[in-house]
Chain A
Amino acid sequence: MSAESETSEKAPSGAAGGPPLLEMRGISKEFYGVRVLDKVDLDCKAGEVHAIVGENGAGKSTLMKILVGAYTPTEGEVRIEGEPVSFSHPLEGQHAGVSIIYQEFNLLPDRSVAENIFLGREPKRGLLVDRRQMEERSAEILEQLAPDDPISPRAQVGLLSVDRQQTVEIAKALSLDSKIVVMDEPTAALAAHEVERLFEQIERLKERGIGVVYISHRLKEIFEIAERVTVLKDGERVDTKRPSEVTSPDLVRMMVGRELDQYFPQRADAGSRGPVKLRLRGAANYLLSNIDLDVHGGEILGLAGLQGSGRTELARAIFGADPFDTGKLELDGKEREIRSPREAVAAGIGFVTEDRKSEGLALMQSVRDNVALAWRGLRRSLRKQHELEIGELTKAVELRARGLGQEVRFLSGGNQQKVVLAKWLATEPQLVIFDEPTRGIDVGAKAGIHDLIRGLADEGVAVIMISSELPEVIGMSDRIIVMRHGSIAGELAAGPTEAEIMFLATGERDIDVDQPAATAAGGERQQQEEEEEGS
Chain B
Amino acid sequence: MNRAVSRPQPRVSVGGPWNKVTGAFGAIARTTSGPVYLVLLVVFIICFAVVTIDGGEFLSVDNVRDMLVRSVALGIVAAGQTLVILGASLDLSVAYVISLSSLLGAETMDGQNGQIITGIGLVLLVGLGIGLVNGIVITKLRVNAFIATLGVGLIIRGYLEANYAGPAGKSAPDFLKLGFESWGPIPLSVILLFAVVGAVWALLRWSRFGNRLYAVGGDEQVAKLSGVRTHRVIITAHVLCALAAAITGLFLASRLGAGSPLVGQEASYDLQSIAAVVLGGTYLLGGRGGVLGTLAGVLILAMLDNTFDQLEVDPFAKDVARGLIIIAAVAAYSVRWRRRRRSEQAAAEGVEPPAGGTPALQEGRTT
Contact = CB atoms under 8 A, between A and B. Distances in A.
So, do A and B actually touch in the complex, CB under 8 Å? Answer: yes
Interface of A: 90-91, 94, 106-111, 115, 119-122, 124, 127-129, 131, 156, 158-159, 161-162, 189, 191, 281, 284-290, 292, 308, 310, 313, 325-326, 484-490, 504, 507, 523-524, 527, 531, 534-535
B344 A486 contact: no
Given A120-B223, A485-B350, A507-B6, 11 more contacts: A106-B221, A107-B222, A110-B32, A111-B211, A115-B214, A131-B205, A158-B344, A159-B14, A310-B349, A487-B5, A527-B1
Chain B residues touching A, range: 35 or more
Contacts, number: 132
Contact of B351 (A121, A189, A289, A488): A289
A534 B208 contact: no
Interface in B319-360: 342, 344-354, 358
Contact of B218 (A110, A489, A490): A110
Among B5, B210, B214, B367, the most chain A Cβ lie within 10 Å of the Cβ of B5
A287 B5 contact: no
A119 B349 contact: no
B363 to A, nearest CB: 10
Contacts of A485: 5, 7, 9, 349-351
Contacts of B367: 281, 292, 534-535
Secondary structure at the B interface, as helix, strand, loop or mixed, is helix
B365 A121 contact: no
A507 B214 contact: no
B208 A124 contact: yes
Contact of B346 (A91, A121, A128, A287): A287
A531 B32 CA distance: 50
Contact of B225 (A106, A115, A161): A106
Interface of B: 1-2, 4-7, 9, 11, 14-15, 30, 32, 205-208, 210-212, 214-215, 218-219, 221-223, 225-228, 287-288, 342, 344-354, 358, 362, 364-367
B362 A110 contact: no
Secondary structure at the A interface, as helix, strand, loop or mixed, is mixed
B5 A119 contact: no
State the 5 A-B residue pairs at the shortest beta-carbon distance, nearest first: A120-B226, A120-B227, A486-B351, A289-B358, A119-B226
B248 to A, nearest CB: 25
A488 B361 CA distance: 12
Nearest to A509: B2
Contact of A484 (B5, B223, B287): B5
Given A161-B347, A284-B354, A288-B351, A91 B227 contact: yes
A191 B350 contact: yes
B349 A308 contact: yes
Nearest to A102: B225
Contacts of B207: 127-129
A289 B352 contact: yes
B348 A162 contact: yes
Given A119-B226, A290-B362, A310 B351 contact: yes
A285 B227 contact: no
A337 to B, nearest CB: 16
Contacts of B354: 284-286, 289, 325-326
B346 A286 contact: yes
Nearest to B365: A292
Contact of B208 (A129, A158, A159, A531): A129
Contacts of A527: 1
Contacts of A524: 1-2
A276 to B, nearest CB: 11
20 contacts: A106-B226, A110-B214, A111-B211, A111-B215, A111-B218, A120-B212, A122-B208, A122-B211, A127-B207, A129-B208, A159-B15, A159-B344, A191-B350, A284-B358, A287-B345, A288-B351, A325-B354, A484-B5, A485-B350, A504-B1
Nearest to B6: A507
A365 to B, nearest CB: 21
B227 A94 contact: yes
B206 A128 contact: yes
B15 to A, nearest CB: 6
Contacts of A110: 32, 214, 218, 287-288
Contacts of A504: 1
A191 B9 contact: yes
Given A161-B11, A287-B346, A489 B4 contact: yes
Nearest to B1: A490
A485 B362 CA distance: 13
A108 B214 contact: yes
Given A128-B206, A129-B207, A290-B362, A161 B351 contact: no
B365 A488 contact: yes
B343 to A, nearest CB: 8
Given A91-B225, A159-B344, A129 B206 contact: yes
B105 to A, nearest CB: 28
B366 to A, nearest CB: 7
Contacts of A90: 225
A115 B211 contact: yes
A489 B366 contact: no
A140 B172 CA distance: 56
Contacts of B352: 289
A494 B344 CA distance: 36
Contacts of A106: 221-222, 225-226
Contacts of A285: 354
B218 A313 contact: no
A154 to B, nearest CB: 10
Given A122-B208, A289-B352, A486-B349, A507 B342 contact: no
B212 A119 contact: yes
A286 B1 contact: no
A487 B1 CA distance: 12
Given A91-B225, A158-B344, A159-B15, A489 B5 contact: yes
Contact of B227 (A108, A121, A288): A121
Among B226, B364, B367, the most chain A Cβ lie within 10 Å of the Cβ of B226
B35 to A, nearest CB: 15
A204 to B, nearest CB: 23
Contact of A119 (B215, B221, B350, B351): B215
Among B11, B225, B353, the most chain A Cβ lie within 10 Å of the Cβ of B225
A507 B350 CA distance: 15
A306 B30 CA distance: 33
Nearest to B9: A191
Contacts of B351: 286-289, 310, 485-486
A233 to B, nearest CB: 30
B2 A507 contact: yes
A106 B228 CA distance: 13
Given A119-B215, A129-B206, A159-B14, A287 B226 contact: no
Contact of B349 (A108, A281, A313): A313
A269 B353 CA distance: 41
